[in-house]
Amino acid sequence: MSEEAAATVLTQAAPETAQEAPQAVPQEAPTQPVTSGNWRDSLPEDLRESGSLRDIPDVNTLAKAYQDAQSYIGRSIRIPGEDANEDIWSDFNSKLTQVPGIGRIPTENSAPEEWDQFYQSMGRPESADQYRLGEDGRSPNETESALLDQLHSLGLNNKQASGLVDWMNQGVDENFQNNERAQAEALSQLKTDWGQAFDSKIKDAKAALVTYGGEELTRELEANGLGNNTALIKAFAEIGHGFSEDSSQGVGGKRSMSSTPAEAKIQIDEILGNPAHPYNDINNPAHEAAVDSVQKLYQAAYLSDENAEPDIFEQKLGLG
Confidence check: pLDDT of 139 > 60:
yes
Indicate the pLDDT class of residue 246, thresholds 50, 70 and 90. Answer: very low
Q: What is the pLDDT of residues 104-129, one digit of tens each?
A: 788 888 888 889 988 988 889 999 99
Q: Which of the residue ranges 80-84, 91-95, 274-278 would you say has the lowest mean pLDDT? A: 91-95
What does the alpha-carbon distance between residue 77 and residue 163 come to, in Å, rounded to a whole number?
37
Give the burial string for 89-108 (b: 16+ CB within 10 Å, else e): eeeeeeeeeeeeeeeeebee
Read off the pTM.
0.43
pLDDT exceeds 70 at position 141:
yes
The per-residue pLDDT for range 174-199, each reduced to its tens digit, is 988 888 888 888 888 888 888 878 88
pLDDT in tens, 252-295: 334 444 677 888 888 888 888 888 888 888 888 888 888 888 88
pLDDT of 78 higher than 80: no
